Amino acid sequence: IHNEVFEDAAHASKLVAHEIADLIKQKQGMGEQCVLGLATGSSPIKVYEELVNMHKEGLLSFRNVVTFNLDEYYPMQPENRQSYYHFMHQHLFDHVDINPENINIPDGEVPVEELHQYCIDYEMKIKHCGGLDLQLLGIGRTGHIGFNEPGSHYNSGTRIITLDHITRVDAASDFNGIENVPKKAITMGISTIMKAKRIIMLAWGHKKSDIIKETIEGEITSEVPATYLQRHKNTVVILDNEAASELT
């Protein structure tokens, strides 16, 4: 894993947004679609803000962009304010010219009996689009990427998972109490993420410093799923000083 440390998250986020914009434009120039894997949460907010700014200034179009989000709570209604569907529209999709048909977010309302097939279809759709050109990631304090919690297998695909207790504690404030946080989620798997041609992971702040040290310097283990990224050939971890503070 290659890592880059920045003074502040805002500046780093701008650079990441520019890399994404350059990729979109490069693909546009070749008449190709650009397939982006996207994350929610606090980490990528400034990246989306910058992409929206570029679009508003007339410097970037999302006409050729296809997106696949990493995850969604289950069960979850899209119109619910805590849904990742809502998050993505609020921070990105409502402000750019992406074709709504090109937006893919796991559906938190799929009937239980259809979940298995739904997850297989999500995986196949990514494949049929030619795979993810770039995957944006945050990291949870458990070491999860997407919602691949400790114990996730290297070969895992899109599936329903049980959220770790720590993950639910961290989400509690968004839900007005841990008792309201869903217990499950649909998430892309480790293998889904590892097939991305380029991976950019973002981590900001002191509370990520321990898990970042384990991710970058620790042994590869299913107990810290983010360590699997050490096997990926084109991953960069973008950090602020605080998140990098435990690195040797």
Q: Which string of x and - marks every residue 61-80 that binds ligand F6R (by CB under 6 A)?
A: ---------xx---------
Q: Are strands 34-38 and 134-137 parallel, antiparallel or unpaired?
A: parallel
For 128-158, b/e burial (b = at least 16 CB within 10 A) is ebeebbbbbbbbbebbbbbbbbeebeeebbb
| Binding region for ligand F6R (CB under 6 A) out of 38-46, 107-115, 176-184, 212-220 | 38-46
| Binding region for ligand F6R (CB under 6 A) out of 35-43, 73-81, 116-124, 126-134 | 35-43
Interface with ligand F6R: number of residues (CB under 6 A): 14
Look up residue 177 and give its two tokens: 């109490």
Q: Does 140 bind ligand F6R (CB under 6 A)?
A: yes
Question: C-beta of 2: minimal distance to ligand F6R in Å?
Answer: 19
Q: Tokens 């920045």 label which residue?
A: 6
H helix runs in 40-164, sequence order? 45-56, 84-91, 115-128
Question: C-beta of 238: minimal distance to ligand F6R in Å?
Answer: 12
Question: C-beta of 87: minimal distance to ligand F6R in Å?
Answer: 8
| Separation CA 245–CA 241 (nearest Å) | 6
Q: From the list 6, 16, 41, 85, which residue makes contact with ligand F6R (rule: CB under 6 A)? A: 41
Question: C-beta of 124: minimal distance to ligand F6R in Å?
Answer: 21
* Dihedrals phi, psi of 85, to nearest 5 degrees: -60, -50
| Separation CA 237–CA 166 (nearest Å) | 22
Nearer to ligand F6R, 48 or 62 (CB): 48
Q: From the list 37, 106, 108, 146, which residue makes contact with ligand F6R (rule: CB under 6 A)? A: 146
